[in-house]
A = this chain, B = another copy of it.
Amino acid sequence: MPRTSDGRERLIEAGVELFSQRPYGSIGVAELCTRAGVNKGSFYYFFASKEALALAVIDRHWTWQKGVWAGILDGSGSLLDRLRGLFDATAQMQVDAVTGTGWVAGCLFGNLALEVSSQNEPVRLRLQEIFDEQIAMIASRLASAVESGELQSVADVDGAAKAIVAQLEGLVLFAKVFNDPSQLDALWQNSLALLGLAPARA
């Protein structure tokens, strides 16, 4: 099989697919190669280890997700409209996963975070950066909305953004345990409460 960069691409795509569906520890290099249609020699030509592929998979998925997030967060409408659009898109991804595979996929970063944080230092450190970037993406839009006067209730935009991302991860965990994307329905109301914009349940 020729060692074209196409093989590298196919391995990354196979990794995004498999690591999103099953535990990291349950997927070996052999299965990744089979899914990608490359042989083992080619794998080690492109990647030093399964961990090296995992880091490339994480970066690929984040590049994609960051684009989706930025597209929605920098779109038109009020901050609250855009934030709601982001949550709706997140829920829709889980609906699509259930439709395609029968299972809520959850968040690739959250899944890896809880599975391998105490086992794999490079992965853990990369996930730190990604969660920090997610929080910063929301915090910067909250800050703009505070500055423009749209949002007056938030003094600590970093803390509020972090609370919202934590709420998202917690509800995605419930969506996985209950295999039910509608667990994410509460994200909007809970985020409004975290922003001081609504009594939690009134």
**Contact surface of A with B, Cβ cutoff 8 Å:** 21-26, 103-106, 110-111, 113-119, 124, 127-128, 131, 153-157, 159-160, 162-163, 165-171, 173-174, 176-179, 186, 189-190, 193-196, 198-202
Contact = CB atoms under 8 A, between A and B. Distances in A.
A96 to B, nearest CB: 15
Instruction: Give the number of times this chain occurs in the complex, counting copies.
Output: 2
B23 A189 contact: no
A175 to B, nearest CB: 9
A103 B189 CA distance: 34
A173 B166 contact: yes
Which secondary structure characterizes the binding site on chain A? helix
A91 to B, nearest CB: 14
Contacts of A155: 199, 201-202
B115 A114 contact: yes
B117 A160 contact: no
Contact of A119 (B26, B113, B171, B200): B26
B159 A186 contact: yes
A199 B153 contact: yes
A177 B127 contact: yes
Given A163-B200, A199-B153, A201-B156, A176 B26 contact: no
